[in-house]
Structure 1
Amino acid sequence: MQAAARLSVCRRICLSAMSSGYQQANVVILPNHLANDFEAFCRLNPAPLPLLYRSQSGETSCLPLAKHADIRTDISQYCVYEDGRLVETVCSLQSFSRVGSELQGRGSWSDMVCFYLGCSFGFEGRLKEAGVPVRNVEQGTNVSMYRTSVPCAPAGAFSCPLVVTMRPVPADMLDAAVEVTHLNPLAHGAPVHIGDPALLGIHHLSRPDYGDGAELRPGDVSVFWACGVTGIEAILSSKPSLAFSHSPGCMFLTDIPDCSPPPAPPPPPDGARRPSTGPDGELTPLCFLISHNPLWYSLASKSAVTRIRQLEAIIGEDPGQRGISALFVQDELLRSCLALSHASSVAITTGFPTHYDHSPPDETDGPPGAIAMATMLLSLGKQVTMVTDRRAVDMNRSILDEAVRKGVLKAAIPLVTFEDSGPDSALRFLCHHGDPSKPRYDHLVAIERSGRAADGNYYNMRGVNIKHLVDPVDDLFTAAQEIPGITTTGIGDGGNELGMGKLKEKVEALMPNGSLIACDVSADYAVTAGVSNWGGYAVACGLHLLHTCSSHQRYLKKGLGHTTLQEQIQDWTANLPSVDKEEAVLSTLVSFGIRSGKTGHLAMEVDGLTFHPTHSDIITRLLEVTLGSTNHRPG
């Protein structure tokens, strides 16, 4: 495109709705002494600030992006900043760049460095081609841009909050929107958040900080992409004596057609490896709903999703012939792992006193899976609390201490009990000061935990009422359903476990004694397994897969900060369940007199199945699926 034509298009209108057919760029212009810091800031925060080109000091052209460009005149509106304050908007920077003149006493144009950054307008055409409506274009408005409460990774003089754009997308088109934008990482790539804007600190969608408000249609979901206006926030926070930027929505127009692949970014410093973002379909993210209250979706690559589904198939095997496959619902494990990955504080409960005529009455299924999940969650930096019955506090404290001593549990964790001491006791337990806006935990997990039946009693698989041995931990799961921000998972192998109320109709119809024993208390996710411990092992493995998945990690971090270090991956791998560690846990349980659930044997077995070869084989196969993902490209 010739310079005159480019200038004419730029000056006509400065909204994404213009459908120019050419890729666009955000622009930040800074004094030379800040240029290296800003480049480092871009490298650390690649989602909002994908660097297309850094100019030489005083350079007005940018040949890699446009042959006949002049950055002083090719944007329809510029912002001028002095000491971190917006002082005016102008349609040209020529008056600031006369040869030999000073920039209002702030230095010369020859000292200024221009940064060209990828822009999300570059993918709007591709969204339309994929059939995804672009509401701001339909409504003839600029895209909505919001300052978030999420801090970017700082570098030198630069530290500021992330800015995002929001585009409403129909729920049934989320995967298409994610895939299209993932393939264009230099136009901000895939979304960094999908769902409730309050989770980003945005409380009024109708009042964007930049741009115009967009109207959501019925069935639309708010989808947020990192935004190059983050560069403007960086100017405001660093307070350079003089700086310039494009005016939000008024972009620099390149010579590169929308249909062309984006230009290669400058090489990363110090030989750092550029993350793989190519067209490989296995790395494409898929979108999954993980919470209704608040509305929240998460992303994971096709590769990671495939492997977690393989884990789910392995734990669904039923060598004990209990009929558990009849309760299976696909992706309950995946969605639980995704929700746990976003959690910061998790409470785990276990304990099924099926052997009511023994002391202790507990079985060997449950505690090993709980410990396996706990140690992986700790390795990922999350807070973990174990909830147990009052009758079992001393025993479980000793079991946890022994697990730490043997290196099975990464670190000691709090062990607490819950009592029904009044109508608000569950709320006070779950939330600081009983305030539902301040939850103490954001995920509850029950694994092989006795679940309350419809008649208020607790039954083992034989239909014997064991209510006298069980504290009302179910109340926590019931209360959590009404508290925004707390998600729940139940793991079971028979239908009478806490959380299996989600599958109550199936349990009543298909499981032995189902109409009597079926748990009446639901969880958001009901993970079924041939043995409940296997479900715990699979959750630990699934979390490892997600945290070694580049697509999920980017979404977790909002495209900000350093990439995952090899040392972190090594620690996560070291804290996976293993045959040796799970055998050690089972040995500890037997030493405390805890028996196999099905047979009552005081032996190295769980639910009547001996550790070798049945359980050891399942663990080995789970690890083969999991560790295969870290020996080659990340998923």
Structure 2
Amino acid sequence: MAAFILHLKSCLPSAIRSLILPKKAYIRNTSGMAGGLQPASVVVLPRSLALAFKSFCQANSGPLPLLSQSEQDKWMLPALGTAPEARTVCPQFRKYEFGVCTGGLTSLEDYAEQLKDMVTFVLDCSFSLERALGIVGLSRRNPAGLSHAGAYKTTVPCATVAEFCCPLVVTMRPIPKDKLERLLQVTCSMAGEQGQPIHIGDPELLGIKALSKPDYGNCVECQPEDVPVFWPSQLTSLEAVISCKAALAFTSMPGCTVMTHLKDSKTPASCLTPKTVPEVHHISQDPLHYSIVSAAAVQKIRKLEETIAIDPGNRGIGHLLCKDELLKASLSLSHAHSVLVTTGLPTHFNHKPPEETDGPPGAIALGAFLQALGKNVSMVVDQRALSLHTKLVEDTVKQGVLKSQIPILTYQGGSVKDAQAFLCKDGDPKSPRFDHLVAIERAGRAADGNYYNARKVNIKHLVDPIDDLFLAAQKIPGISSTGVGDGGNELGMGKVKKAIKRHIRNGDVIACDVEADFAVIAGVSNWGGYALACALYILNSCEVHGRYLRKAIGPSRALGEQNWTQALPSITKEEKMLGILVQHKVRSGVSGIVGMEVDGMPFHGVHTKMIQKLLDISTEHV
């Protein structure tokens, strides 16, 4: 038997000898150590599972960047170093039987016969976060000794392929918030997509309950000014091996790698473009959450914000504008799953209905695009306007403005408890029904408790206290809010009430006192709704943001771009929408005319030009 083993060793390719020969009883953490070679982790599976595992890696390329695999009919590990004694670090393996880890191995010598019917997969581990931290000027805070930094199983499911069904595993580093942007640019310059984190902020958003208890390795403690930043981990492969329950399988031990000669295919810094250069933006404090988007997408959304901020009514709204509110609002909406939209400013109190043509078109346009993204959308309106809005939604579906019905709700208030019960399942603030509220040209409560139109006329008798929902949302973690307005008396404009009182006519009386997290200012509120839809199109067409949204697992969402284009606001759809409002005798806000105009300005010529400008910005190639 001994003679046979010696003969076998002499016949094997040097690559596979690097797996079998080393038997020294020491363990080295090789994460971040390259020395000119490319480090990789190894998964060895029965040949019957090879095709499925390859597809699984391709479907989840973020945590499982597949470099190579041995050929189906040949027992070898492709393209490893030719002199294992000098060029490879002693690998250590985990052995799995039917999904259970049954021990650690310093070589696979005792399994030479079984390996003949197995396939070896090589996963890229070359991205060195420690090196990136050094470039940014952050000292290494890995656990002492030879242990590797902690990794965590999340509640985020990987894309399932055949027998392979497992959660995403991530690694975490605490990063001072003032270093986030620089670190992200360095990591993406070094490693392209593989250097991009998949989550920045509260670990519970990934289903991680305690950073002090990693599933692999040892935790790295966060300091007061740190933000937890998470990257996809190749340790996801261990969970995949567990899930397939193969009779026999092997993986690299966490923290230990094999050094290969395989070429690095990542994007060098010189190839980064505005479409791939990432930016970090803070979108929520409770829970703490940051988002990532490309510089090119940010540039477009800022152009949208600038475009809608013109002041055709000379109201002084330029003084209310806060930079990047449209960007942050759209980023927050992009991460949302269930959105509640409200509209309705009954300025024509002597007519029935008292509503105006500004508000509903913007709300419906945003709702249409949220539907295209697969989000749950509902609307909440005044009880007295329920019938009107129900008919509006029905007609928009019939005419193809909306793809499907939007549920119409009402809220007549009573107490903080009532508002919480409306927003949350069983009134439990830990289970919100909605994660984003949007008000578009919605009457907002002033400091004296009344509601006013632009002429200081009190319209409180026509308005239900939907403001209470926005106030309650401020105290419920996980619910963000956006207010869109053009005059200062709209729900959400409390965020800029000082400027309203100083610069808007009658502002000291009409200014809304209720804040939204984000205040989008537009010359006409409908334009703000259109701009939000366009910004969502830009974000979800952005590869950098799309990868962050899907946590680097599953196919790119850009596959749905054609449907998203059809869901954008258009001159044709908005003309139909305004025509529906005219049929229901809804009037222009300034003139009171029942006709094809909004805020006293004709649809054709003014609003059509704005819609086209927003579409041109959204769909242009940078």
Alignment deviations for residues 311-355 of structure 1 (CA, whole Å, 9 cap, x no partner)? 111111112211111111111111111111111111100000112
**In the alignment, is residue 233 of structure 1 matched against residue 231 of structure 2?**
no
Q: Could you say what secondary structure the match of 1:396 adopts? A: helix
Aligned to 2:124: 118
Aligned to 1:329: 322
AA aligned opposite 2:108: L
Matches for 1:74-153 after TM superposition, within 5 Å: 74-97=89-112, 102=113, 108-119=114-125, 122-136=128-142, 141-153=147-159
What is the CA distance between 1:303 and its match in structure 2? 1.2
Aligned to 1:42: 57
Aligned to 2:353: 360
Q: Distance in 2 between matches of 1:137 and 1:129?
A: 20
Q: Choose from 62, 65, 89 the match for 2:78.
A: 62
Provide the TM-score with structure 1 as the length reference.
0.90
Structure 1 window deviating more from structure 2 (584-593 vs 607-616): it is 584-593
Structure 1 window deviating more from structure 2 (423-432 vs 74-83): it is 74-83
Q: Distance in 1 between matches of 2:44 and 2:63?
A: 16
Alignment deviations for residues 360-380 of structure 1 (CA, whole Å, 9 cap, x no partner)? 211111000000000000111
AA aligned opposite 1:79: R
Q: Could you say what secondary structure the match of 2:171 adopts? A: strand
Question: Residues 91 and 445 (structure 1 numbering): CA distance in 2 closer, same or farther, change over 3 Å?
Answer: same
What is the CA distance between 1:515 and its match in structure 2? 1.5
Q: Could you say what secondary structure the match of 1:489 adopts? A: strand
What is the CA distance between 1:73 and its match in structure 2? 7.7
Aligned to 2:617: 625
Q: Distance in 2 between matches of 1:289 and 1:137?
A: 29
Q: Could you say what secondary structure the match of 1:166 adopts? A: strand
Matches for 1:206-355 after TM superposition, within 5 Å: 206-254=212-260, 263-264=264-265, 278-355=271-348
Structure 1 window deviating more from structure 2 (519-528 vs 598-607): it is 598-607
Q: Choose from 576, 582, 585 the match for 1:593.
A: 585
Query: Is the contact between residue 444 and residue 489 of structure 1 (CA under 8 Å) also seen in structure 2?
Result: yes
AA aligned opposite 2:612: T
Query: Is the contact between residue 29 and residue 146 of structure 2 (CA under 8 Å) also seen in structure 1?
Result: no
Q: Distance in 2 between matches of 1:187 and 1:243?
A: 29
Provide the TM-score with structure 2 as the length reference.
0.92
Between the aligned residues of both structures, percent identity stands at 48
Structure 1 window deviating more from structure 2 (69-78 vs 205-214): it is 69-78
What is the CA distance between 1:62 and its match in structure 2? 3.5
What is the CA distance between 1:22 and its match in structure 2? 5.3
Aligned to 1:201: 207
Q: Distance in 2 between matches of 1:468 and 1:71?
A: 84
AA aligned opposite 2:543: S
AA aligned opposite 1:62: P
Question: Residues 186 and 365 (structure 1 numbering): CA distance in 2 closer, same or farther, change over 3 Å?
Answer: closer
AA aligned opposite 1:453: A
Q: Distance in 1 between matches of 2:38 and 2:155?
A: 29
AA aligned opposite 2:424: C
Q: Could you say what secondary structure the match of 2:128 adopts? A: helix
Q: Could you say what secondary structure the match of 1:290 adopts? A: strand
What is the CA distance between 1:144 and its match in structure 2? 1.1
What is the CA distance between 1:13 and its match in structure 2? 2.4
Alignment deviations for residues 535-569 of structure 1 (CA, whole Å, 9 cap, x no partner)? 00001111111111111111111111122364x22
Query: Is the contact between residue 10 and residue 76 of structure 1 (CA under 8 Å) also seen in structure 2?
Result: no
Aligned to 1:395: 388
What is the CA distance between 1:422 and its match in structure 2? 3.7
Query: Is the contact between residue 73 and residue 94 of structure 1 (CA under 8 Å) also seen in structure 2?
Result: no
Question: Residues 140 and 470 (structure 1 numbering): CA distance in 2 closer, same or farther, change over 3 Å?
Answer: farther
Q: Distance in 1 between matches of 2:144 and 2:487?
A: 52
**In the alignment, is residue 611 of structure 1 matched against residue 612 of structure 2?**
no
Q: Distance in 1 between matches of 2:238 and 2:337?
A: 31
Alignment deviations for residues 180-218 of structure 1 (CA, whole Å, 9 cap, x no partner)? 333455783311111111111100100000011101122
Matches for 1:546-561 after TM superposition, within 5 Å: 546-561=539-554
AA aligned opposite 2:576: A
Q: Choose from 489, 494, 519 the match for 1:496.
A: 489
Question: Residues 192 and 409 (structure 1 numbering): CA distance in 2 closer, same or farther, change over 3 Å?
Answer: same
What is the CA distance between 1:293 and its match in structure 2? 0.9
Aligned to 2:41: 26
Aligned to 2:519: 526
Q: Distance in 1 between matches of 2:425 and 2:580?
A: 35
Alignment deviations for residues 523-543 of structure 1 (CA, whole Å, 9 cap, x no partner)? 111000011000000011111
What is the CA distance between 1:39 and its match in structure 2? 0.7
Question: Residues 10 and 357 (structure 1 numbering): CA distance in 2 closer, same or farther, change over 3 Å?
Answer: farther
Question: Residues 151 and 461 (structure 1 numbering): CA distance in 2 closer, same or farther, change over 3 Å?
Answer: same
AA aligned opposite 1:332: E
AA aligned opposite 1:56: E
What is the CA distance between 1:123 and its match in structure 2? 3.7
Q: Could you say what secondary structure the match of 2:478 adopts? A: coil
What is the CA distance between 1:139 and its match in structure 2? 8.8
5+ unaligned residues in a row in structure 1: which ranges? 103-107, 257-261, 266-273, 630-634
Aligned to 2:175: 169
What is the CA distance between 1:174 and its match in structure 2? 1.4
Question: Residues 453 and 444 (structure 1 numbering): CA distance in 2 closer, same or farther, change over 3 Å?
Answer: same
AA aligned opposite 1:405: K
Structure 1 window deviating more from structure 2 (579-588 vs 138-147): it is 138-147
What is the CA distance between 1:264 and its match in structure 2? 3.0
**In the alignment, is residue 602 of structure 1 matched against residue 594 of structure 2?**
yes
Query: Is the contact between residue 31 and residue 113 of structure 1 (CA under 8 Å) also seen in structure 2?
Result: yes
AA aligned opposite 2:81: A
Q: Could you say what secondary structure the match of 2:116 adopts? A: helix
What is the CA distance between 1:15 and its match in structure 2? 5.3
Alignment deviations for residues 225-279 of structure 1 (CA, whole Å, 9 cap, x no partner)? 00000001011111111111111111223458xxxxx6238xxxxxxxx9x9952
Q: Distance in 2 between matches of 1:381 and 1:255?
A: 44
Structure 1 window deviating more from structure 2 (303-312 vs 174-183): it is 174-183
Query: Is the contact between residue 459 and residue 467 of structure 1 (CA under 8 Å) also seen in structure 2?
Result: yes
Q: CA-atom RMSD, angstroms?
A: 2.7
Aligned to 1:482: 475
Matches for 1:504-523 after TM superposition, within 5 Å: 504-523=497-516
Question: Residues 279 and 305 (structure 1 numbering): CA distance in 2 closer, same or farther, change over 3 Å?
Answer: same
Q: Distance in 1 between matches of 2:414 and 2:57?
A: 54
AA aligned opposite 2:259: L
Q: Distance in 2 between matches of 1:49 and 1:546?
A: 25
Aligned to 2:534: 541
Question: Residues 574 and 329 (structure 1 numbering): CA distance in 2 closer, same or farther, change over 3 Å?
Answer: same
AA aligned opposite 1:82: E
5+ unaligned residues in a row in structure 2: which ranges? 1-14
Q: Distance in 2 between matches of 1:194 and 1:218?
A: 15
Q: Distance in 2 between matches of 1:580 and 1:560?
A: 37
